[in-house]
Structure 1
Amino acid sequence: MTERSFDPAGLTRVAQDTFTVRRVFGEAYERDGQLVVPVARVTGLTGAGAGSGGGDVTPGADHGTEQREGGPGGRAAHGTGDGGGGGFAAHVTPVGVFVVDDDGAHWRPAVDVNRVVLGWQVVATLVGCVGALAWAVRRR
Protein backbone atom coordinates (compact mmCIF):
# COMPACT_ATOMS: atom_id res chain seq x y z
CA MET A 1 0.00 0.00 0.00
CA THR A 2 1.41 3.38 -0.97
CA GLU A 3 1.32 6.17 1.53
CA ARG A 4 -0.48 9.29 0.39
CA SER A 5 -0.05 12.71 1.83
CA PHE A 6 -1.88 15.88 0.87
CA ASP A 7 0.40 18.71 -0.22
CA PRO A 8 -1.34 22.12 0.08
CA ALA A 9 1.69 23.81 -1.50
CA GLY A 10 1.21 21.66 -4.61
CA LEU A 11 -2.39 22.83 -4.90
CA THR A 12 -1.25 26.43 -4.53
CA ARG A 13 1.31 25.99 -7.32
CA VAL A 14 -1.31 24.56 -9.67
CA ALA A 15 -3.73 27.39 -8.86
CA GLN A 16 -1.01 30.00 -9.47
CA ASP A 17 -0.33 28.47 -12.88
CA THR A 18 -4.04 28.81 -13.68
CA PHE A 19 -4.45 32.40 -12.43
CA THR A 20 -1.73 33.92 -14.61
CA VAL A 21 -1.59 36.89 -16.92
CA ARG A 22 -1.86 34.44 -19.83
CA ARG A 23 -5.46 33.83 -18.77
CA VAL A 24 -6.20 37.57 -18.74
CA PHE A 25 -4.35 38.43 -21.94
CA GLY A 26 -4.75 35.65 -24.47
CA GLU A 27 -2.24 34.79 -27.15
CA ALA A 28 -1.88 37.75 -29.48
CA TYR A 29 -2.43 37.16 -33.18
CA GLU A 30 -2.14 39.18 -36.36
CA ARG A 31 -5.08 39.84 -38.66
CA ASP A 32 -5.17 42.13 -41.70
CA GLY A 33 -1.90 43.78 -40.65
CA GLN A 34 -3.21 44.51 -37.11
CA LEU A 35 -2.06 42.97 -33.88
CA VAL A 36 -5.04 41.70 -31.83
CA VAL A 37 -4.64 41.00 -28.09
CA PRO A 38 -7.68 39.34 -26.44
CA VAL A 39 -8.48 40.43 -22.86
CA ALA A 40 -10.58 38.59 -20.27
CA ARG A 41 -11.60 39.00 -16.63
CA VAL A 42 -10.49 36.09 -14.47
CA THR A 43 -12.05 35.43 -11.07
CA GLY A 44 -10.55 32.67 -9.00
CA LEU A 45 -11.14 30.98 -5.67
CA THR A 46 -8.98 28.49 -3.88
CA GLY A 47 -9.20 26.63 -0.61
CA ALA A 48 -7.36 23.86 1.14
CA GLY A 49 -7.24 22.11 4.46
CA ALA A 50 -5.25 19.40 6.12
CA GLY A 51 -5.35 17.59 9.40
CA SER A 52 -3.87 14.77 11.37
CA GLY A 53 -4.92 12.74 14.33
CA GLY A 54 -3.79 10.13 16.74
CA GLY A 55 -5.39 8.19 19.46
CA ASP A 56 -5.14 5.53 22.08
CA VAL A 57 -8.24 4.60 24.08
CA THR A 58 -7.69 2.69 27.29
CA PRO A 59 -9.55 -0.64 27.20
CA GLY A 60 -12.72 -0.53 29.27
CA ALA A 61 -12.50 3.22 29.74
CA ASP A 62 -16.12 3.66 28.74
CA HIS A 63 -17.35 1.51 31.69
CA GLY A 64 -14.85 2.46 34.36
CA THR A 65 -13.53 -1.11 34.64
CA GLU A 66 -10.42 -2.60 33.19
CA GLN A 67 -11.14 -5.29 30.64
CA ARG A 68 -9.25 -7.04 27.93
CA GLU A 69 -8.71 -5.14 24.72
CA GLY A 70 -11.50 -5.97 22.29
CA GLY A 71 -13.38 -8.02 24.89
CA PRO A 72 -17.00 -7.55 25.86
CA GLY A 73 -17.59 -3.96 26.90
CA GLY A 74 -13.96 -3.05 26.16
CA ARG A 75 -12.68 -0.82 23.41
CA ALA A 76 -9.76 -1.43 21.11
CA ALA A 77 -8.99 1.92 19.54
CA HIS A 78 -5.46 2.66 18.45
CA GLY A 79 -4.39 4.57 15.42
CA THR A 80 -3.20 7.67 13.72
CA GLY A 81 -4.04 9.28 10.45
CA ASP A 82 -3.76 12.33 8.34
CA GLY A 83 -5.77 13.74 5.52
CA GLY A 84 -6.52 16.80 3.57
CA GLY A 85 -8.07 18.18 0.49
CA GLY A 86 -8.58 21.27 -1.50
CA GLY A 87 -9.60 22.72 -4.76
CA PHE A 88 -9.80 25.80 -6.89
CA ALA A 89 -12.11 27.28 -9.47
CA ALA A 90 -11.69 29.91 -12.15
CA HIS A 91 -14.33 31.88 -14.03
CA VAL A 92 -13.14 33.57 -17.21
CA THR A 93 -15.23 36.23 -18.95
CA PRO A 94 -14.16 37.85 -22.23
CA VAL A 95 -13.96 41.63 -21.94
CA GLY A 96 -12.68 42.75 -25.34
CA VAL A 97 -9.54 43.12 -27.42
CA PHE A 98 -6.75 45.60 -27.90
CA VAL A 99 -6.13 46.25 -31.59
CA VAL A 100 -2.70 47.66 -32.41
CA ASP A 101 -2.29 49.19 -35.85
CA ASP A 102 -0.40 52.06 -37.50
CA ASP A 103 -2.56 54.61 -35.62
CA GLY A 104 -1.79 53.13 -32.17
CA ALA A 105 -3.64 50.89 -29.74
CA HIS A 106 -7.44 50.86 -29.70
CA TRP A 107 -9.81 49.19 -27.26
CA ARG A 108 -12.71 47.16 -28.69
CA PRO A 109 -15.07 45.96 -25.92
CA ALA A 110 -16.87 42.64 -26.17
CA VAL A 111 -20.66 42.88 -26.08
CA ASP A 112 -22.38 40.49 -23.67
CA VAL A 113 -25.79 40.00 -25.27
CA ASN A 114 -27.17 38.21 -22.19
CA ARG A 115 -26.33 41.18 -19.99
CA VAL A 116 -27.93 43.61 -22.46
CA VAL A 117 -31.14 41.56 -22.61
CA LEU A 118 -31.25 41.25 -18.82
CA GLY A 119 -30.77 45.01 -18.48
CA TRP A 120 -33.72 45.72 -20.78
CA GLN A 121 -35.85 43.22 -18.87
CA VAL A 122 -35.10 45.01 -15.60
CA VAL A 123 -35.93 48.39 -17.14
CA ALA A 124 -39.20 47.05 -18.61
CA THR A 125 -40.18 45.56 -15.24
CA LEU A 126 -39.49 48.82 -13.42
CA VAL A 127 -41.48 50.84 -15.98
CA GLY A 128 -44.36 48.37 -15.68
CA CYS A 129 -44.35 48.57 -11.87
CA VAL A 130 -44.25 52.38 -11.86
CA GLY A 131 -47.06 52.47 -14.45
CA ALA A 132 -49.21 50.09 -12.40
CA LEU A 133 -48.58 52.11 -9.24
CA ALA A 134 -49.48 55.37 -10.99
CA TRP A 135 -52.67 53.79 -12.39
CA ALA A 136 -53.66 52.51 -8.92
CA VAL A 137 -53.03 55.88 -7.27
CA ARG A 138 -55.03 57.74 -9.94
CA ARG A 139 -58.04 55.42 -9.50
CA ARG A 140 -58.31 56.34 -5.81
Structure 2
Amino acid sequence: MELGTHLGMDIRELLSGLTGAQRVYGEPYERDGITVIPAAVIRGGGGFGNGNGELGSGEGGGGGITGRPIGAYVIKDGEVRWEPALDVGRLVLGGQLLVALLALLAFRLLRRRK
Protein backbone atom coordinates (compact mmCIF):
# COMPACT_ATOMS: atom_id res chain seq x y z
CA MET A 1 0.00 0.00 0.00
CA GLU A 2 1.49 3.34 -1.06
CA LEU A 3 1.75 6.15 1.47
CA GLY A 4 -1.28 8.39 1.22
CA THR A 5 -3.64 5.83 -0.32
CA HIS A 6 -5.50 5.40 2.97
CA LEU A 7 -6.51 9.05 2.59
CA GLY A 8 -7.97 8.35 -0.82
CA MET A 9 -5.16 10.07 -2.70
CA ASP A 10 -1.66 9.49 -3.90
CA ILE A 11 1.10 11.30 -1.96
CA ARG A 12 2.12 13.10 -5.17
CA GLU A 13 -1.39 14.56 -5.46
CA LEU A 14 -1.25 15.70 -1.86
CA LEU A 15 2.12 17.40 -2.24
CA SER A 16 1.23 19.06 -5.53
CA GLY A 17 -1.87 20.51 -3.90
CA LEU A 18 0.24 22.07 -1.15
CA THR A 19 2.74 23.75 -3.45
CA GLY A 20 2.69 26.10 -6.36
CA ALA A 21 1.41 29.55 -7.11
CA GLN A 22 -2.22 28.60 -6.45
CA ARG A 23 -1.36 28.27 -2.74
CA VAL A 24 0.55 31.56 -2.55
CA TYR A 25 -1.63 33.82 -4.68
CA GLY A 26 -5.37 34.01 -4.22
CA GLU A 27 -7.95 34.45 -6.92
CA PRO A 28 -7.78 37.97 -8.35
CA TYR A 29 -10.86 40.07 -7.80
CA GLU A 30 -11.95 43.38 -9.25
CA ARG A 31 -13.97 46.21 -7.78
CA ASP A 32 -14.45 49.74 -9.09
CA GLY A 33 -11.78 49.24 -11.78
CA ILE A 34 -9.13 48.04 -9.30
CA THR A 35 -7.80 44.48 -9.45
CA VAL A 36 -6.43 42.92 -6.28
CA ILE A 37 -4.31 39.75 -6.18
CA PRO A 38 -3.86 38.59 -2.57
CA ALA A 39 -0.66 36.81 -1.54
CA ALA A 40 0.24 34.62 1.43
CA VAL A 41 3.21 32.77 2.82
CA ILE A 42 2.68 29.04 3.25
CA ARG A 43 4.87 26.89 5.48
CA GLY A 44 4.64 23.20 6.10
CA GLY A 45 6.55 20.40 7.69
CA GLY A 46 6.24 16.78 8.49
CA GLY A 47 7.89 13.88 10.16
CA PHE A 48 7.73 10.15 10.08
CA GLY A 49 9.12 7.45 12.27
CA ASN A 50 9.79 3.79 12.49
CA GLY A 51 10.98 1.53 15.22
CA ASN A 52 11.80 -2.01 16.10
CA GLY A 53 12.87 -2.12 19.71
CA GLU A 54 12.67 -4.57 22.54
CA LEU A 55 9.07 -3.60 23.27
CA GLY A 56 7.89 -4.24 19.74
CA SER A 57 7.64 -2.30 16.58
CA GLY A 58 6.52 1.26 16.20
CA GLU A 59 5.20 3.65 13.65
CA GLY A 60 4.82 7.37 13.53
CA GLY A 61 4.03 10.39 11.52
CA GLY A 62 2.83 13.90 11.70
CA GLY A 63 2.74 17.14 9.90
CA GLY A 64 1.30 20.55 9.70
CA ILE A 65 0.82 23.48 7.42
CA THR A 66 0.20 27.13 8.15
CA GLY A 67 -0.37 30.22 6.13
CA ARG A 68 -0.69 33.92 6.72
CA PRO A 69 -1.41 36.86 4.44
CA ILE A 70 1.60 38.97 3.49
CA GLY A 71 -0.01 41.49 1.15
CA ALA A 72 -1.54 42.01 -2.24
CA TYR A 73 -0.74 43.29 -5.69
CA VAL A 74 -3.05 46.14 -6.58
CA ILE A 75 -3.56 47.01 -10.24
CA LYS A 76 -5.14 50.37 -11.02
CA ASP A 77 -5.00 52.29 -14.31
CA GLY A 78 -2.35 49.90 -15.66
CA GLU A 79 -0.02 50.51 -12.68
CA VAL A 80 0.91 47.69 -10.31
CA ARG A 81 1.89 48.31 -6.70
CA TRP A 82 2.56 46.03 -3.74
CA GLU A 83 0.56 46.62 -0.57
CA PRO A 84 2.01 44.70 2.41
CA ALA A 85 -0.41 43.25 4.95
CA LEU A 86 -0.24 44.66 8.44
CA ASP A 87 0.22 41.82 10.94
CA VAL A 88 -0.94 43.42 14.18
CA GLY A 89 -0.09 40.33 16.22
CA ARG A 90 3.54 40.47 15.14
CA LEU A 91 3.71 44.21 15.81
CA VAL A 92 2.36 43.73 19.33
CA LEU A 93 4.76 40.87 20.02
CA GLY A 94 7.69 42.91 18.68
CA GLY A 95 6.70 45.84 20.89
CA GLN A 96 6.47 43.61 23.94
CA LEU A 97 9.91 42.14 23.26
CA LEU A 98 11.38 45.61 22.81
CA VAL A 99 9.85 46.84 26.08
CA ALA A 100 11.15 43.75 27.90
CA LEU A 101 14.65 44.27 26.49
CA LEU A 102 14.65 47.96 27.46
CA ALA A 103 13.42 47.09 30.97
CA LEU A 104 16.20 44.52 31.34
CA LEU A 105 18.83 47.02 30.19
CA ALA A 106 17.49 49.71 32.55
CA PHE A 107 17.52 47.23 35.44
CA ARG A 108 21.16 46.31 34.74
CA LEU A 109 22.22 49.96 34.46
CA LEU A 110 20.51 50.85 37.74
CA ARG A 111 22.08 47.86 39.44
CA ARG A 112 25.60 48.87 38.36
CA ARG A 113 25.17 52.38 39.78
CA LYS A 114 24.69 51.05 43.33
TM-score, normalised to structure 1, is 0.63
Aligned to 1:89: 64
Aligned to 1:120: 95
- How far is the alpha carbon of 1:117 from its aligned partner? 0.5
Tell me how large the CA RMSD over aligned residues is. Answer: 2.4
* Gapped regions of structure 2 (runs ≥ 5): 51-58
Trace 1:13-52 onto structure 2 (pairs within 5 A).
13-46=13-46
* Gapped regions of structure 1 (runs ≥ 5): 51-83
Q: Deviations over 1:98-139 (max 9, x none)?
A: 000115101111011110001111111111111111111111
The change in CA–CA distance for 1:16 and 1:46 in structure 2 (over 3 A counts) is: farther
Name the CA distance, whole Å, in 1 between partners of 2:81 and 2:32.
15
- Number of residue equivalences: 102
Name the CA distance, whole Å, in 2 between partners of 1:102 and 1:132.
55
Aligned to 1:6: 2
Aligned to 1:137: 112
- Larger relative contact order (CA 8 Å, sep ≥ 6): 1
Name the CA distance, whole Å, in 1 between partners of 2:16 and 2:48.
14
- How far is the alpha carbon of 1:45 from its aligned partner? 2.4
Residue 109 (str. 1) matches residue 63 (str. 2): no
The change in CA–CA distance for 1:135 and 1:29 in structure 2 (over 3 A counts) is: same
Deviation >6 Å, runs of 4+? none
SS in structure 2 at match of 1:105: strand
SS in structure 2 at match of 1:97: strand
Taking only the aligned residue pairs, the percentage that are identical comes to 33
TM-score, normalised to structure 2, is 0.76
Larger radius of gyration: 1
SS in structure 2 at match of 1:108: strand
Q: Deviations over 1:32-61 (max 9, x none)?
A: 2111000000112245679xxxxxxxxxxx
Q: Deviations over 1:61-107 (max 9, x none)?
A: xxxxxxxxxxxxxxxxxxxxxxx886653211110000001151011
Contact 1:28-1:35 within 8 A present in 2 as well? yes
